[in-house]
Chains A and B, each alone.
Chain A
């Protein structure tokens, strides 16, 4: 094993080591030692990733097995690494954001009794995510895929006494399993027809696969594989209709919302599709499917961000919407743009989440934006960094998000794939919506009237919304242990006492904010050239010539500054400005307007407040239906028919015959005597008949 290979191994193993130490011996080594070892582990992984990055930049890539996991059916299942430009970019993003979140956690979780456990989990997550992105085969991809799901399950349910949290983590796991169902079938098709699970070998066989159809279905094989894999991505990257788990995942502590449910794990699906570009390029049907799902997610999940009052949930819906943008980019074959947005988003969304967490600390664990306002005065660092993050999110020129989002919009603009027009409308409208909900949140939290420290401040503020909330609350109780976001307020009702003021968070919290704010501003300008128009992804991401929208975009591209300056006169910029302006007008200037809207268009409000009724439908149809079906199979199938009729029935039949014979063998002499006499009579009668017959005959 060369020294570089040892370094590859060190990247995932260092966080794993920290996780084991803090997890198994956390109590023994104490709180400080636990965060020291885990932070050290992730820091080592980050530094090693930087070294590997330089090595990759020097042109050294790696694709090889670590060990053979199993062999069967002519397939060698291996665990191994593929180190190339895409991998190393993901490694840098994962380890950097993870490091920031580790440091931030010292402050955020300082009073939590599960301190060591938390550090153990987030380090374990880092390990799993790294194994996922570094994999060179589908088996290990699936390992990492499910392992991050497990840690996500553990972390959403971190506060395991909260009914909402343990409802949310079960839901997240099961919804993800629905996605994995498709994913596994996709992998199964690959194994069956390519005879290998190694990426490079599968890609080499892709032209052969293109000729095949799946027997018993008649589907084109590659399309079936791609759609199967993408269904997995829909679960992990929360695309409609498998998005329902992500908003609820906000039940977990805020640091993991930043790390897992914004920056890294949820982008695993995006990464996976980009990695599989040689397959997806072969199926326009699959790409169209990806495109339409992504566009729908991008716009319609954005709408939901508008009606949320919980600060974390606004950011959560924003994440959904941004994941939709990335998926749209995949759909139009702009994989590099998707990955580019993945990276910039990781920074600014982690920043926004951690900023929201800082606000939550300042507000003493009150997450309701209706109780905030004017926080800029009290939390300057959080304020400025959140503003920078929001500007990046809405795609303000020169910010990181501008470059990546504008690239996606341009890519969709140039695409001819079926569904591209719909997607173009969605992503454009999405720009307005993003700006609107982002700055609605920004204004509600940092500007305007100071609404904290007053008991039940929001009752007067938005009476209508409160009513519908109460209504939703009741529904929550009806369906046996269902909890939407409606309960979460109860759990977080600490808040500020009357007269108490919010305060800025400690340095362990603000330092990561600052360190994340820097890339949120500059990373786009720095990396757009190599990532989109340069050779960085050459040989890693494959785009068919007919789909190469980035090449079209490149013709109009005149440098980093030129693009940003041009950005000021394009439609997306003005849509974003309109969104910001509307938010300002609605929430600072004329706060009565949203309430009026809520009353005037109550049905729209209710539709959005109930998240298009996805949750209700799933609860009634899938969860309720499954229980009903299970009870039916159990009561009618197992108990009534199999046990009742077949098993106990045959037992009764045997018993009945035995009963009859027992009745005959009573042991009473007079009964036997009676039967003897009776028998003799019968015999005599028969003989008589016989005799008569004989007499007549004779």
Chain B
């Protein structure tokens, strides 16, 4: 009998999360923390066979699980992963561990509920990445909004209600259009909710265009692409550290994943037709947002804008329809998971001590926190795309793909080399270097063992994938090749 790894990856965190809730009030907080950590670790270990047992020569879905669900509408509980989604399931389960550890001492109120929210969200997110049924996908996609809404709304900063509502409404409005598209596809594909059936469904250009924009409305908000990005900085600023980590590392990947799983294969002709629009929006994200990031005074906002800019590389890579572009975009997304997660954890380390995210409230942190400064520098450099860090790999591949596609697009994309370095290192300079800025900085204590551990593990990931990304690119080849072949075949 085959082990249903994907179901386990989904339901172990969800049940673990529910179990955590039973720990109840905050006097049982230690129990809640331990259950949460064990669940997160178990959740990650379950996903490892997905990599080791993955057949890199196959483009098809693997680890398939299909059970009937709502037979009247042909809805099924269908799971499976390919070279595109498998890395994200693992990344998501991996990052969950950091989220639990990052909130270990910091969260003192409603601990069980906090941990449970993250665990449940982790399970739901695995569901999003592995769902092969449209309805199942939609259920996971929407359900995952709820824990995030709660995380921002309950454990967030002073303006949390505005931010949580903005986040919720922005994303909900988008996904309603996606639902309409799903229903249309259901009727049009002869009554199937199978995403793979949709891939094969013939659609006219007019239909494709409508569906393309319905998908775009949903996914562009999630990525987020310019100009529907303004919810992200607000959400990040108000979210607790763990919330920011999940938002940046995982939630932003959902939209980009949607483009690959839905837009490109289901409406290939519209995707090609509207590629110039998508590329333009992506380049605006890279350049415009890069300039905006430069002038931020709040560290979290700065990194939030930097995330938008980096995700611009992902969408740029997708819509050039070459292997370097798509694989580079995927690598960029994975790397961004580590790097942005680490950046937010670093900011969290400072925030826990000084309770400020303002750059101006720091200065000379290196004097009192040398170990922290070293880690922060590594992640800042990765954020700026320095070779030998994972941040370089995706950017490099996408720029190479872009130059091949059109020199000027490559030219515009490569400006990130300058902008990314400028906003990241200028912030680093003002926060970390210099003489001790004020008495808060003078009183800072360097990393404790827990913080050191999680930053060190992320540092190893960042360096590891920077020096040897082959294991990552290898699992993608077959799937991406197949996707490109599929997209090249017109449905008209």
- A residues whose Cβ falls under 8 Å from a Cβ of B: 67-75, 142-143, 145-147, 150, 157, 160-161, 163, 166, 170, 173-174, 177-178, 180-181, 184-185, 187-189, 191-192, 214-217, 224, 626-627, 629-631, 633-634, 637-638, 642-643, 646-647
Indicate if the CB atoms of A71 and B474 lie closer than 8 Å.
yes
Please classify the interface of chain A as helix (H, G, I), strand (E, B), loop, or mixed, using the class held by over half of its residues. Answer: helix
Indicate if the CB atoms of A73 and B402 lie closer than 8 Å.
no
B166 interface hit (Cβ, 8 Å): yes
Give the residue among A69, A75, A178 with the most B Cβ atoms within 10 A. Answer: A69
Q: In the bound complex, what is the Cα–Cα distance between A185 and B410 (angstroms)?
A: 7
Assuming the contacts A633-B288, A634-B292, asked whether A69 and B403 have C-beta atoms less than 8 A apart, the reply is: no
Q: In the bound complex, what is the Cα–Cα distance between A191 and B425 (angstroms)?
A: 29
Indicate if the CB atoms of B227 and A189 lie closer than 8 Å.
no
Q: How far is the CB of B327 from chain A (nearest CB, A)?
A: 5
Indicate if the CB atoms of A174 and B399 lie closer than 8 Å.
no
Q: In the bound complex, what is the Cα–Cα distance between A576 and B404 (angstroms)?
A: 50
23 pairs of residues in contact across A and B, judged by CB atoms under 8 Å: A69-B469, A70-B397, A70-B472, A73-B322, A73-B323, A73-B404, A75-B400, A147-B386, A161-B367, A161-B433, A173-B421, A173-B425, A181-B418, A184-B414, A185-B403, A185-B411, A188-B400, A188-B402, A216-B408, A631-B295, A633-B292, A637-B288, A643-B230
Assuming the contacts A160-B366, A626-B422, A627-B294, asked whether A70 and B470 have C-beta atoms less than 8 A apart, the reply is: yes
Q: In the bound complex, what is the Cα–Cα distance between A646 and B229 (angstroms)?
A: 12
Indicate if the CB atoms of B414 and A74 lie closer than 8 Å.
no
Indicate if the CB atoms of B366 and A181 lie closer than 8 Å.
no
Indicate if the CB atoms of A642 and B230 lie closer than 8 Å.
yes
B210 interface hit (Cβ, 8 Å): no
Give the residue among B411, B417, B470 with the most A Cβ atoms within 10 A. Answer: B417
Indicate if the CB atoms of A174 and B434 lie closer than 8 Å.
no
Q: In the bound complex, what is the Cα–Cα distance between A157 and B433 (angstroms)?
A: 9
Chain A residue with the shortest CB-CB distance to B404: A192
Q: In the bound complex, what is the Cα–Cα distance between A610 and B435 (angstroms)?
A: 28
Indicate if the CB atoms of B323 and A74 lie closer than 8 Å.
yes
Indicate if the CB atoms of A170 and B429 lie closer than 8 Å.
yes
Q: In the bound complex, what is the Cα–Cα distance between A68 and B425 (angstroms)?
A: 31
**Contacts A70-B469, A72-B327, A177-B422 supplied; 13 other A-B pairs, CB < 8 Å:** A72-B323, A73-B322, A147-B388, A160-B434, A161-B434, A166-B433, A181-B418, A184-B399, A626-B291, A633-B291, A637-B227, A637-B292, A647-B230
Chain A residues closer than 8 Å to B467, beta-carbon distance: 69
Partner among A70, A147, A177 whose Cβ is within 8 Å of the Cβ of B473 = A70
Partner among B396, B425, B472 whose Cβ is within 8 Å of the Cβ of A170 = B425
Q: In the bound complex, what is the Cα–Cα distance between A265 and B169 (angstroms)?
A: 53
Q: How far is the CB of A591 from chain B (nearest CB, A)?
A: 38
Chain A residues closer than 8 Å to B406, beta-carbon distance: 215-216
B202 interface hit (Cβ, 8 Å): no
B468 interface hit (Cβ, 8 Å): yes
Q: In the bound complex, what is the Cα–Cα distance between A67 and B471 (angstroms)?
A: 12
Indicate if the CB atoms of A174 and B404 lie closer than 8 Å.
no
Assuming the contacts A69-B470, A188-B399, asked whether A170 and B426 have C-beta atoms less than 8 A apart, the reply is: yes
Chain B residues closer than 8 Å to A626, beta-carbon distance: 291, 294, 422
Assuming the contacts A70-B393, A161-B434, asked whether A630 and B291 have C-beta atoms less than 8 A apart, the reply is: yes
Q: In the bound complex, what is the Cα–Cα distance between A216 and B470 (angstroms)?
A: 32
Chain B residue with the shortest CB-CB distance to A186: B403
Chain B residues closer than 8 Å to A177, beta-carbon distance: 417-418, 421-422
Per-position 1/0 for B389-405, Cβ under 8 A of A: 00011001101111110
Q: How far is the CB of B24 from chain A (nearest CB, A)?
A: 38
Indicate if the CB atoms of A630 and B407 lie closer than 8 Å.
no
Q: In the bound complex, what is the Cα–Cα distance between A626 and B407 (angstroms)?
A: 24
B174 interface hit (Cβ, 8 Å): no
Indicate if the CB atoms of B166 and A72 lie closer than 8 Å.
no
Query: How many chain-B residues does the 8 Å CB contact rule pick out?
Result: 59
Indicate if the CB atoms of B417 and A191 lie closer than 8 Å.
no
B415 interface hit (Cβ, 8 Å): yes
Indicate if the CB atoms of B295 and A191 lie closer than 8 Å.
no
Assuming the contacts A161-B434, A174-B422, A637-B288, asked whether A188 and B293 have C-beta atoms less than 8 A apart, the reply is: no
Chain B residues closer than 8 Å to A161, beta-carbon distance: 364, 367, 433-435
B324 interface hit (Cβ, 8 Å): yes
Indicate if the CB atoms of B388 and A646 lie closer than 8 Å.
no
Chain B residues closer than 8 Å to A631, beta-carbon distance: 295
Chain A residue with the shortest CB-CB distance to B411: A185
Indicate if the CB atoms of B469 and A191 lie closer than 8 Å.
no
Indicate if the CB atoms of B407 and A215 lie closer than 8 Å.
yes
Chain A residues closer than 8 Å to B433, beta-carbon distance: 157, 160-161, 166
B258 interface hit (Cβ, 8 Å): no
Q: In the bound complex, what is the Cα–Cα distance between A228 and B401 (angstroms)?
A: 17
Indicate if the CB atoms of B295 and A166 lie closer than 8 Å.
no
Chain B residue with the shortest CB-CB distance to A145: B387
Indicate if the CB atoms of B386 and A150 lie closer than 8 Å.
yes
Chain A residue with the shortest CB-CB distance to B469: A70
Q: In the bound complex, what is the Cα–Cα distance between A163 and B417 (angstroms)?
A: 25
Chain B residues closer than 8 Å to A73, beta-carbon distance: 322-324, 327, 397, 400-401, 404
Give the residue among A147, A188, A638 with the most B Cβ atoms within 10 A. Answer: A188
Q: In the bound complex, what is the Cα–Cα distance between A638 and B290 (angstroms)?
A: 13
Indicate if the CB atoms of B387 and A142 lie closer than 8 Å.
yes
Chain A residue with the shortest CB-CB distance to B385: A146
Partner among B295, B324, B422 whose Cβ is within 8 Å of the Cβ of A75 = B324
Q: How far is the CB of B222 from chain A (nearest CB, A)?
A: 16
Q: In the bound complex, what is the Cα–Cα distance between A75 and B403 (angstroms)?
A: 14
Q: How far is the CB of A21 from chain B (nearest CB, A)?
A: 15
Q: How far is the CB of B418 from chain A (nearest CB, A)?
A: 5
Q: In the bound complex, what is the Cα–Cα distance between A142 and B408 (angstroms)?
A: 21
Chain B residues closer than 8 Å to A188, beta-carbon distance: 399-400, 402-404, 410, 414
Indicate if the CB atoms of B367 and A184 lie closer than 8 Å.
no
Q: In the bound complex, what is the Cα–Cα distance between A157 and B410 (angstroms)?
A: 32
B75 interface hit (Cβ, 8 Å): no
Chain B residues closer than 8 Å to A70, beta-carbon distance: 393, 397, 469-470, 472-473
Chain B residues closer than 8 Å to A178, beta-carbon distance: 418
Per-position 1/0 for B185-212, Cβ under 8 A of A: 0000000000000000000000000000
Indicate if the CB atoms of A147 and B421 lie closer than 8 Å.
no
Assuming the contacts A161-B434, A166-B429, A170-B426, asked whether A192 and B230 have C-beta atoms less than 8 A apart, the reply is: no
Chain B residues closer than 8 Å to A75, beta-carbon distance: 324, 400
Give the residue among B404, B408, B432, B467 with the most A Cβ atoms within 10 A. Answer: B404
Indicate if the CB atoms of B295 and A627 lie closer than 8 Å.
yes
B328 interface hit (Cβ, 8 Å): yes
Chain B residues closer than 8 Å to A143, beta-carbon distance: 387-388
Indicate if the CB atoms of A647 and B411 lie closer than 8 Å.
no
B477 interface hit (Cβ, 8 Å): yes
Chain A residue with the shortest CB-CB distance to B364: A161
Q: How far is the CB of A282 from chain B (nearest CB, A)?
A: 19
Q: In the bound complex, what is the Cα–Cα distance between A217 and B406 (angstroms)?
A: 9
Q: In the bound complex, what is the Cα–Cα distance between A482 and B392 (angstroms)?
A: 30
Chain A residues closer than 8 Å to B397, beta-carbon distance: 70, 72-73
Indicate if the CB atoms of B404 and A630 lie closer than 8 Å.
no
Chain B residues closer than 8 Å to A71, beta-carbon distance: 470, 473-474, 477
Q: In the bound complex, what is the Cα–Cα distance between A71 and B292 (angstroms)?
A: 34
Assuming the contacts A67-B468, A177-B417, A647-B230, asked whether A192 and B473 have C-beta atoms less than 8 A apart, the reply is: no
Q: In the bound complex, what is the Cα–Cα distance between A67 and B470 (angstroms)?
A: 10
Chain B residues closer than 8 Å to A629, beta-carbon distance: 291
Chain B residues closer than 8 Å to A72, beta-carbon distance: 323-324, 327-328, 397, 473, 477
B381 interface hit (Cβ, 8 Å): yes
Closest 3 CB pairs of A and B: A188-B403, A73-B324, A192-B404
Assuming the contacts A69-B469, A146-B387, asked whether A217 and B291 have C-beta atoms less than 8 A apart, the reply is: no
Chain A residue with the shortest CB-CB distance to B323: A73
Indicate if the CB atoms of B403 and A189 lie closer than 8 Å.
yes
Partner among A187, A630, A643 whose Cβ is within 8 Å of the Cβ of B295 = A630
Q: In the bound complex, what is the Cα–Cα distance between A147 and B389 (angstroms)?
A: 11
Q: In the bound complex, what is the Cα–Cα distance between A142 and B401 (angstroms)?
A: 17
Q: In the bound complex, what is the Cα–Cα distance between A215 and B38 (angstroms)?
A: 56
Indicate if the CB atoms of B425 and A174 lie closer than 8 Å.
yes
Chain A residue with the shortest CB-CB distance to B377: A154
